């Protein structure tokens, strides 16, 4: 018998991974008139490359677009109004992966909040966002983040202007190298796990001392998967969409915290390579937020990287100035 927990795991995972999935119900009135900031018209984002009077001519800016919206309805509706119905939902999803570290998008968005993005559309599928500025009315403060590749790093990551990473990291989490966290429990989607976008074949480690309870129990949805039980508490950790499981691991096998147990992948109901990590109190027990269970920390750029980060931020900021 397939338990509903497994079904909901992959259904939610699919929803989160797909672009343009439903935007959660907005907190601000849907009837409120949607206004796009006066400095930005519905065409601005798409014609920005045609150069306003002050737009920089450096080739660096050739494929970059700037969008500034004032939130009057839902976040997605505001972004759609500033771009179009095709690009808007995808751009919203990408921007929200950063916003969720600052606010609860379902509760903290207020009329008058301002969102600014510098973005490009490199492959026509998923837009790339390079810098984000967000002004929260509720919190009375502004946030700023830039997508930056530290020297020697495989992937860009999001940093604030002081070089602190925007995303929290899990101490003793199941994956160390990943591109981005694309879903957290607090992002309001009802998804039960944390999704780590990572290339297929990225090592996955045991998050605690435990025992393998199940392996590949619902292949169609979960793909290759492991279900671990923590020895002392009985807590369960589900690791889904794996590309491979370390040879010899089977139900009953003991694992030590930090032990290599598998490799991330894109198996089962998954539309992009990622690791789904889900914690529960027991087999059918309450879902636990990994960011509550694990100790967390924030990485910080070394001083040697700061000039490059600041230079990048200044470059993107010039695009803001050129359309205001």
Residues binding Zn ion (CB under 5 A)? 13, 193, 195, 276
Nearest-approach distance from CB 191 to Zn ion, in angstroms: 6
Q: Which long-range contacts (CB under 8 A, 24 or more apart) does 139-143 make?
A: 139/103, 139/108, 143/102
First vs last C-alpha separation in the chain: 59
Q: Closest Cα partner for 176 from 202, 214, 155, 137?
A: 202
User: In this structure, are residues 119 and 127 in contact, taking their beta carbons and an 8 Å threshold?
Assistant: yes
With 0-12 / 13-18 / 19 or more C-beta atoms within 10 angstroms meaning exposed / middle / buried, residue 104 is middle
Nearer to Zn ion, 14 or 244 (CB): 14
Give the length of the chain: 324
Nearer to Zn ion, 193 or 210 (CB): 193
Q: What SS3 state is found at 269? A: coil
- What is the DSSP secondary-structure string of 121-189? -SSSSS-EEEEEEEEETTTTEEEEEEEE--TT-SS-EEE-TTSBBSS-EETT-S-SS-SEEEE-GGGSS
Nearest-approach distance from CB 214 to Zn ion, in angstroms: 17
Nearest-approach distance from CB 120 to Zn ion, in angstroms: 27
Nearer to Zn ion, 88 or 193 (CB): 193
Nearer to Zn ion, 82 or 273 (CB): 273
| Number of other residues whose CB lies within 10 A of the CB of residue 219 | 11
The residue to which tokens 């889900």 are assigned: 278
Nearer to Zn ion, 216 or 253 (CB): 216
Nearest-approach distance from CB 79 to Zn ion, in angstroms: 24
Nearer to Zn ion, 159 or 196 (CB): 196
Q: What SS3 state is found at 284? A: coil
Nearest-approach distance from CB 107 to Zn ion, in angstroms: 22
Provide φ and ψ at 250, rounded to 5°: -150, 165
Query: What is the Cα Rg of the chain in Å?
Result: 21
Nearest-approach distance from CB 185 to Zn ion, in angstroms: 10
Bridge partners, 180 (sequence order): 197
Q: Six-digit token pair at 258? A: 């930090």
Nearest-approach distance from CB 182 to Zn ion, in angstroms: 8
Nearest-approach distance from CB 9 to Zn ion, in angstroms: 7
Nearest-approach distance from CB 183 to Zn ion, in angstroms: 6
Residue 102 DSSP class: T
**Rounded-to-integer distance, Cα 268 and Cα 224, Å:** 7
Nearer to Zn ion, 13 or 100 (CB): 13
């Amino acid at each position: 018998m397939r338990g509903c927990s497994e079904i909901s795991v992959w259904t939610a995972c699919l929803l989160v991974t797909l672009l343009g999935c439903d935007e959660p119900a907005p907190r601000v009135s849907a009837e409120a008139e949607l206004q796009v900031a006066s400095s930005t018209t519905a065409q601005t984002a798409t014609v920005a490359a045609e150069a306003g009077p002050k737009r920089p001519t450096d080739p660096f800016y050739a494929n970059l677009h700037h969008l500034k919206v004032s939130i009057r309805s839902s976040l997605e509706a505001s972004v759609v109004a500033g771009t179009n119905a095709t690009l808007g939902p995808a751009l919203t999803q990408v921007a929200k992966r950063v916003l969720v570290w600052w606010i609860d998008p379902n509760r903290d968005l207020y009329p008058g909040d301002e969102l600014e993005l510098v973005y490009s559309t490199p492959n026509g599928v998923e837009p790339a966002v390079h810098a984000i500025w967000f002004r929260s009315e509720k919190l009375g403060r502004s946030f700023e983040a830039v997508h930056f590749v530290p020297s020697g790093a495989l992937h860009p990551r999001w940093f604030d202007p002081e070089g602190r990473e925007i995303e929290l990291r899990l101490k003793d989490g199941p994956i160390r190298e990943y591109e981005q966290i694309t879903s957290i429990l607090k992002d309001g989607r009802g998804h039960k796990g944390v999704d780590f976008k990572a290339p297929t074949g990225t090592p996955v480690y045991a998050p605690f001392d435990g025992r393998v309870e199940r392996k590949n129990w619902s292949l169609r949805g979960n793909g290759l998967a492991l279900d671990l039980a923590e020895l002392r508490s009985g807590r369960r950790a589900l690791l889904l969409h794996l590309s491979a499981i370390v040879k010899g691991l089977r139900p009953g096998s003991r694992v030590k915290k930090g032990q290599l147990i598998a490799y991330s992948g894109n198996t089962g109901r998954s539309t992009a390579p990622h690791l789904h990590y889900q914690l529960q109190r027991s087999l059918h027990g309450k879902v636990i937020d990994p960011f509550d269970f694990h100790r967390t920390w924030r990485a910080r750029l070394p001083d040697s990287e700061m000039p490059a980060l600041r230079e990048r931020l200044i470059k993107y900021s010039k695009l803001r100035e050129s359309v205001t």
